[in-house]
Amino acid sequence: MLLVALQRLPGLNPVALLTWLLALVFAFTMLWSGALSFYFIFIPEYILCLVAYPLFCAMKGAKDTWPKQEAQQAAREGTLSNFEEQRDALEDEDNKEDPSAEHTARLAKWLLVGAGIMLLSMVALAIRIDLAAPSAAALDIMRDDFHFIAIACTLCYSTLAILAMRVTDANEG
């Protein structure tokens, strides 16, 4: 019923949203009950999403529509390749590679490297806090600092990843 209501919203993947909501409920439940530490909630949450997303997709009917959509995509690609062959046959110019494509790929690579560094820095900081806390009081202070730094790193990671996607999408279009 929730999936049906979410399908009416344009440009929204209801299965992904439902999986995200399930992950949030799982994380809040685990943190609230104390069953898992804040620092290690990511791994079971990630595994839960890896299992839940395909199941929700199958419940929505992805198994039935996939072969039909794959055939439609193959037909589109065949038409496109025929058009490109005709266009290439008519062109007399040298097909020099666009230097902006190489620049875009290099830029996207560096943006993704920066995003990866943000994620690795959060993991390294969490491990450092877990191993280096001298006392329980210091652990509380260090945890508060980690929350602030994790929010900043998450914002940087998201910004860099979105920029990398937009850079590569802009070059394709």
What does the pLDDT look like over 18-35, one tens digit per residue?
999 999 999 999 988 988
pTM: 0.40
Each residue of 109-141: pLDDT tens digit? Answer: 888 888 888 888 888 888 888 787 778 788 788
Tell which of 25, 54, 89 closes a domain: 89
Distances (CA, A) of 129 to 26, 34, 44, 120, 148: 24, 18, 20, 14, 14
Question: Is residue 68 located within the same domain as residue 37?
Answer: yes
Task: Please report how many Cα atoms fall inside a 13 Å half-sphere around the Cα of residue 116, on the Cβ side.
Answer: 6
Question: Is residue 113 located within the same domain as residue 68?
Answer: no
Each residue of 34-62: pLDDT tens digit? Answer: 888 878 888 889 999 999 999 998 888 77
Q: Closest Cα partner for 146 from 165, 133, 163, 161?
A: 133
Question: Is residue 79 located within the same domain as residue 130?
Answer: no
Give the phi and the psi of residue 147 in degrees, each rounded to 5. Answer: -60, -45
Question: Is residue 66 located within the same domain as residue 138?
Answer: no
What is the model's pLDDT at position 166? Answer: 81
Question: Is residue 76 located within the same domain as residue 150?
Answer: no
Q: In whole angstroms, give the CA distance from residue 143 to residue 164.
A: 31
Q: Average pLDDT, stretch 132-156?
A: 83
SS3 category, 135: coil
What is the model's pLDDT at position 5? Answer: 63
Question: Is residue 84 located within the same domain as residue 128?
Answer: no
15 confidence band (pLDDT: 50, 70, 90):
confident
Range of the domain at 131: 98-173
The total domain count for the chain is: 2
Which conformational region is residue 61 in: left (phi greater than 0), alpha (psi within -120 to 50 degrees), or beta? Answer: left
